[in-house]
Structure 1
Amino acid sequence: MAGAVLGVGAGVFILALLWVLVLLLCVLLCRASGLARFFVIFVFLAAVIITSVLLLFPRATEVPTPEVEIKIMDKFFIGRYVLLAFLSIFFLGSLFLVLIHHILEPIYAKPLRSD
């Protein structure tokens, strides 16, 4: 396996670098003022899209396929989809709570006059 470091390929490092940069950019944008603060959502969604593209469309293997057909069995199929459902619900709930916190923040009235 050419290019493997610590038993993993370059794709794992690319994904890790992507998410570290997204986390850094999100922290910087959260500290911004005005409308720029809400670009965190777009940065995060872009990172999710890039990650899913990189995971769903891997490049072809460098090793030629063997003559014997190999059946690959996914024994953790149901568990993987249960985990995906749990993480999706958690993400949507967290997004809902963040939007409530930022959008529905109370605006307190200022006193008309000070005595």
Structure 2
Amino acid sequence: MAGTVLGVGAGVFILALLWVLVLLLCVLLSRASGVARFSVIFVFLGALIITSVLVLFPRASEFPAPEAEIEIVDAFFIGRYVLLAFISAVFLGSLFLVLTHHVLEPIYAKPLRSY
């Protein structure tokens, strides 16, 4: 997977950059007055057309070329279970504290009427 960052290619970053710039331009144009305010619609439609062209006409193959046999190894197996045990202990401790707070909530005496 040459040219990938976090498992995605450059096209995803191009689309993200496009939509961030369109959002910024739409916010800036929404503050304008007059006819320039309505150009937000054309900016949005232009970005929509560019996005549809980039998505519908990809340059690379959808499936990578077959390589040697891939062996899947879970390297973070023990760490995942340690994290799960820690989160479970925090959850149970929090639940215990909430329930004790609920059970031990003080009940205040109502004032007596004096005649």
Calculate the TM-score normalised by the size of structure 1: 0.53
2: CA distance, partners of 1:57 / 1:18: 17
In structure 1, the residue matched to 2:110 is: none
Larger RCO, structures 1/2 (Cα 8 Å, 6+ apart): 2
| Aligned-pair Cα RMSD in Å | 2.0
1:19 positional shift:
0.1
Distance 1:24 1:60, change over 3 A: same
In structure 2, the residue matched to 1:77 is: none
Calculate the TM-score normalised by the size of structure 2: 0.53
Verify: 1:42 aligned to 2:52, yes or no: no
2: CA distance, partners of 1:40 / 1:63: 37
Counterpart code for 2:12? V
Distance 1:48 1:62, change over 3 A: closer
1: CA distance, partners of 2:6 / 2:65: 24
Aligned residues: 66
In structure 2, the residue matched to 1:14 is: 14
Distance 1:4 1:38, change over 3 A: same
Superposition map of 1:1-115 within 5 A = 1-61=1-61
1:64 positional shift:
7.7
2: CA distance, partners of 1:6 / 1:56: 22
2: CA distance, partners of 1:12 / 1:56: 13
1:25 positional shift:
0.1
Counterpart code for 2:47? A
2: CA distance, partners of 1:30 / 1:9: 32
Q: Aligned to 1:32, what secondary structure does the other structure show?
A: coil
